[in-house]
C-alpha cells in the first residue's frame, strides 16, 4: 500500500503579488498530486495538504527552495490515504482570520518553546497555559489545567483576554493552538497589552504529539481535514468530551448534517446513526440535511471558487 503524508504549515513572510503566487502555486500542486486548503496573503502562507509521501517531499522541497519560505516548519503525519478530496488555493487578507491585522509576527511575537521545553515548563506554579482556539476545538481536547476562552472565532480573542486579565497578570503565559499559527498573533497581542513573559508552543499541539508524545493533552485535537479529530497523547490519554445528544463520554467529533446548523460537536456513533448525522431531531428533519455516511465530515462547497482562475489551459 502506498503511503501518504499530511502536512500542516504556515509562514509569515512578505508576498508582494499574492494573486500571481496563487496561480503558480496552484499549478505546482496540481502537477504534483497535492490536495488540501492553502491560504495566500500579503502577510504569508498557511496550508494543510495531503499527498503521496514522495509528492509531499517534493512539495516541501519546492517551498523551502524559495527564500521567502525557507523557515517553514512542516508538521508531517503519516496516512494511508488523502486527507482531502479537493484542492483550494485562495487569496485572502490574512492567513488566519483575526482582528489583529495590525500585528506583524515577524517583528515581534512570543518566545517560541520546543515541545520538550513546553513540557518542562507547563506545570510550574507561576505558569498559565492559555488555549487560544475556539470553543468547538478545545471542547474536543485541551492541555490538562489549561485556561480556555469562550470564543466562537479567533477574532474574539482580544476581547476575551481583557476579561481574563487578572488570571494572566504576573504569570508566565504559555499559549498554544493546533499548529502554532494563531499563537503568533495571540502572543504578540499579549505583549502589546503589556504582559511580559509570553511564550508559545512552537508547532502547536500536532508537533507536541509528534515530538513529545502528547503527554497531558487530554482528549483529541480538532483538525481541519477529513479526519476531523486526531489522537495526540500516547502517554496518558483521556477522553474529556461528551456526546452532545446523550451525554455519554465520547470523543467522536462530527459536523451536524444540517448545513444550516453545521454544529461542530462530539456525537457518539449510536446517536449519529439514530439522528442520521444531525445534532438534534429538528436538524434531522431539515429539508437540506446532507446524506450521512457515518463520518460526520462534509466536503466544503466551492462557493463560487474557481480553482483554475487565472491559469492558462493547455
> What residues have CB less than 8 Å from 254, skipping those under 6 apart?
228, 264, 265, 266, 267, 272, 277, 295, 296, 297
User: Which sequence positions are flagged as catalytic?
Assistant: 177
C-alpha cell at 25: 502555486
C-alpha cell at 279: 445534532
SS percent in the chain: helix, strand, coil, step 5: 25, 25, 50
In whole angstroms, how far apart are CA 40 and each of 44, 47, 64, 145?
A: 6, 9, 16, 35
Compute how many other C-beta atoms are within 10 angstroms of the C-beta atom of residue 170: 11
253 DSSP 8-state letter: E
Q: CA-to-CA distance for 137 and 126, rounded, in angstroms? A: 26
Listed in order, strand segments (DSSP E) in 18-107 are 35-41, 44-52, 75-79, 87-91
Amino acid at each position: 500500500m502506498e503511503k501518504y503524508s499530511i502536512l500542516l504549515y504556515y509562514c509569515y513572510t512578505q508576498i508582494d503579488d499574492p494573486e500571481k503566487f496563487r496561480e503558480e502555486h496552484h499549478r505546482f500542486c496540481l502537477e504534483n498530486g497535492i490536495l488540501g486548503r492553502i491560504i495566500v496573503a500579503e502577510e504569508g502562507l498557511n496550508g494543510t495538504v495531503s499527498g503521496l509521501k514522495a509528492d509531499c517531499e517534493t512539495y516541501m522541497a519546492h517551498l523551502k527552495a524559495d527564500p521567502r519560505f525557507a523557515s517553514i516548519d512542516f508538521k508531517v503525519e503519516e496516512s494511508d490515504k488523502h486527507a482531502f478530496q479537493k484542492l483550494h488555493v485562495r487569496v485572502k487578507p490574512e492567513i488566519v482570520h483575526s482582528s489583529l491585522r495590525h500585528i506583524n509576527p515577524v517583528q515581534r511575537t512570543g518566545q517560541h518553546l520546543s515541545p520538550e521545553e513546553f513540557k518542562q515548563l507547563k506545570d510550574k506554579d507561576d505558569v498559565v497555559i492559555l488555549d487560544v482556539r475556539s470553543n468547538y476545538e478545545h471542547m474536543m481536547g485541551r492541555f490538562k489545567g489549561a485556561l480556555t476562552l469562550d470564543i466562537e472565532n479567533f477574532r474574539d480573542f482580544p476581547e476575551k483576554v481583557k476579561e481574563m486579565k487578572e488570571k494572566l497578570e504576573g504569570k508566565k503565559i504559555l499559549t498554544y493552538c493546533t499548529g502554532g499559527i494563531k499563537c503568533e498573533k495571540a502572543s504578540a497581542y499579549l505583549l502589546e497589552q503589556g504582559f511580559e513573559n509570553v511564550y508559545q508552543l512552537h508547532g502547536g499541539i500536532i508537533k507536541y504529539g509528534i515530538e513529545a508524545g502528547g503527554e497531558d493533552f487530554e482528549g483529541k485535537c480538532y483538525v481541519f481535514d477529513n479526519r476531523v479529530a486526531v489522537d495526540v497523547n500516547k502517554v496518558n490519554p483521556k477522553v474529556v468530551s461528551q456526546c452532545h445528544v446523550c451525554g455519554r463520554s465520547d470523543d467522536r467529533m462530527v459536523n451536524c448534517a444540517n448545513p444550516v446548523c453545521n454544529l461542530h460537536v462530539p456525537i457518539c456513533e449510536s446517536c449519529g446513526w439514530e439522528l442520521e448525522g444531525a445534532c438534534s431531531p429538528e436538524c434531522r428533519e431539515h429539508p437540506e440535511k446532507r446524506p450521512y455516511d457515518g463520518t460526520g465530515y462534509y466536503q466544503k462547497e466551492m462557493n463560487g471558487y474557481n480553482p483554475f482562475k487565472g491559469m492558462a489551459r493547455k
